[in-house]
Amino acid sequence: MEELMKKILLVLLIFSGLNLMGTSKPSIKSENAKVEIKKFKSLKDAAKDYEKVLQEVSNYGSRELLQTINPEVDQYVKSKNDEELTKKWEESNTMLIEQFEVSVQKVNEYKELGDVTFLIKGYDEKVLEKYLSDNVSQYAKVNEKGEIEIEIEKYIELQYEYLKNTAKINLATSRVDFVKSSDGWRVIEQNQKK
């Protein structure tokens, strides 16, 4: 799970360095037409729009790569037909799968140039694993045959409460450069930075 989340974070960081493209389509006649880069009235508007895009990409990418954190628990929860248990399990899944929060950390404007720094937050999964391990006695017991029995409801409750009550940590920052022209602010294309 941790490796997958690192991959998702890496994709998000890479995407944030790419250009934010407009939605205009080239005409049918012109196959080689350039796609226009979206322009913004202000750098703050650009930052807000880019923040939304990065958040959506993060959530979509996470859901595409991972549908659930544990298919066996999904089946168990489904078989119990318990609304409260289902709600907590689904919320835990969402909190872990769509865990990254993207926000504007800083907007710097220098006449015709500017940059926006985005902060990416998420859970410290090693701390979550340690918490669940340290509290294993709350959801796992050894029966008289020496077998480990897991009380899934208690496991879900413990994980849910941890996620619900734990603040996310700063995982990364990403900077995107912009340039101002007569018709507004736009992302600086990678080949223009050289």
Q: What is the pLDDT of residues 62-80, one digit of tens each?
A: 888 888 888 999 999 999 9
The pLDDT value recorded for residue 139 is 94
Q: Which residues of 159-185 are buried (b: 16+ CB within 10 A; e: fewer)?
A: bbebbeeeeeeebbebebbbebeeeeb
The pLDDT value recorded for residue 192 is 59
pLDDT band (50, 70, 90) for residue 136: very high
Q: What percent of the chain has pLDDT over 90?
A: 68
The pLDDT value recorded for residue 12 is 53
pLDDT band (50, 70, 90) for residue 100: very high
Secondary-structure class of domain 2-23+35-123+169-183 per CATH: alpha beta
Q: What is the pLDDT of residues 6-57, one digit of tens each?
A: 555 555 555 554 433 333 334 444 455 566 788 999 999 999 999 999 999 9
Q: Residue 183, SS3?
A: coil
Contact 69, 19 (CB under 8 A): no
Give this prediction's pTM: 0.74
Over residues 84-109, mean pLDDT? 95
The secondary element (H helix, E strand) that includes residue 93 is helix 83-97
Q: Residue 39, SS3?
A: coil
